[in-house]
Amino acid sequence: MADVLSQDEINALIETYQATGTADHAGRTQDNRQVRLYDFSRPNKFSKEHLRALNQIHVKHGTLFSIALASRMRIDVQVSVLALDQLTFKEYCASVPDSTLFAEVNLEPLAPVAIFEFNPPVVGMCVDLLAGASSISLTNTKITEVDKAVMRQVIELSLKKYAEAWAPLIDLKPRIIAITTESATRQPLLPSEGVLVCGYEISIAKNVSMMSICIPAWSVEPVAPSLSVNGPIKSKPQQNGVVNKTILRNFENVEVECRAILGRTSMPMEDVMHLEVGDIIRLPNKKTDPAEFWVENVPTFCGLIGRSGRNLALKITKTFTDS
């Protein structure tokens, strides 16, 4: 006959079963928890809100840079943001083309070193237009020292507009450290260092290429709490009738062709074909009649022809619409 368990033995078995069941339940709970993978070699330091705010800053930089570059080269230029990514510096260097133009810059007090990169086609187009060429070369020729010297003014212009884009958050004082095409020999950042990379698409006279900006991620972290799409980087609405001073300044130094038209006449083709040096063409105008003053191809003012010192001059008397 089997032994009968005492009450104490029964209580001990119940306690053991309860303890074992609790442990099994806890184990099953732990097994059901979701695990999120985290890559320590490529940490994401910024939230989606931070990235949206940073994207707004770089979109503003692209707009300001395109306006300034268009007024400098007197041709249609569009600079638009393609993407804003968090990479390592090694990944960034692998993503840019060979023999690209690297500009190491100082963005104090934001970052002691950053990279402004221009693809070879961008360099070729800018050099051709700034040198006065009538056509644009799209060949990926080797970037020379002359090209670097010409591109310095483009880089300085981009830095100036980059500082204006960051102005609501921080007062940048950018300067160029070095301009090079040998990125392999110069490593301003560690290969494993996290960077913030903004890629731009540049369209010059409908010819498209790319540029990029690379900033150490740690340098943006101090201003990250201020990054908010509803914060200080949100542009203020302008009052009606107020001209954007930034855009106006970009056009103040634009050179335009001006002409003074003394008069008009018509001649038979036979007379035109027999014209020679020294011939006099009579105009149906008196010397007191106003001349037309054209800015580019637009009639703008009327004025009287005279002299100012030893030079011929035009005294503006009224606007063309008034006449």
User: Starting from the edge strand earliest in sequence, which strands make up the sheet with 77-88, in order?
Assistant: 77-88, 194-204, 207-216, 111-118, 101-107, 175-180
Give, for 260, the enclosing helix (H) or strand (E). strand 258-261
Q: Which domain holds residue 144?
A: 48-252
Cα 96 to Cα 197: distance, rounded to the nearest angstrom: 11
Contacts of 122 (CB under 8 A, 6+ apart): 101, 202, 204, 209, 210, 211
Q: For residue 126, give the 3-state DSSP assignment.
A: helix
Residues 103, 87, single domain; the answer is yes
Residues 284, 201, single domain; the answer is no
Residues 182, 314, single domain; the answer is no
Cα 202 to Cα 57: distance, rounded to the nearest angstrom: 17
Residues 73, 161, single domain; the answer is yes
In a domain, 2, yes or no: no
Q: Among 252, 284, 308, where does a domain finish?
A: 252
Please give the pLDDT value at position 250: 66
CATH of the domain at 197: 3.40.1550.10
In a domain, 116, yes or no: yes
Please give the pLDDT value at position 1: 46
Give the residue ranges of DSSP H helices in the chain. 7-32, 48-73, 89-95, 120-130, 145-166, 217-220, 245-252, 269-273
Domain count, the chain: 2
Please give the pLDDT value at position 161: 94
Please give the pLDDT value at position 189: 82
Cα 100 to Cα 123: distance, rounded to the nearest angstrom: 9
Please give the pLDDT value at position 185: 63
Please give the pLDDT value at position 173: 92
Please give the pLDDT value at position 240: 47
One-letter identity of residue 199: G
Q: Among 202, 226, 252, where does a domain finish?
A: 252
In a domain, 95, yes or no: yes
Residues 230, 296, single domain; the answer is no
In a domain, 74, yes or no: yes
pTM attached to this predicted model: 0.62
197, 103 Cβ separation under 8 angstroms: no
Number of CB atoms found within 10 A of residue 103's CB: 24
Number of CB atoms found within 10 A of residue 283's CB: 11
Which pLDDT tens digits describe the chain residue by residue (323 residues)?
A: 456 777 787 788 777 777 666 555 555 555 556 665 655 555 567 778 888 889 999 999 999 999 999 888 888 889 999 999 888 888 888 888 888 999 999 998 888 999 999 999 999 889 888 887 767 766 667 888 999 999 999 999 999 999 999 988 889 999 999 999 876 666 788 888 889 999 999 998 888 999 999 999 888 888 878 876 455 454 445 454 445 666 666 677 777 888 888 888 888 898 888 888 988 888 888 878 888 888 877 888 888 888 888 888 888 888 876 55
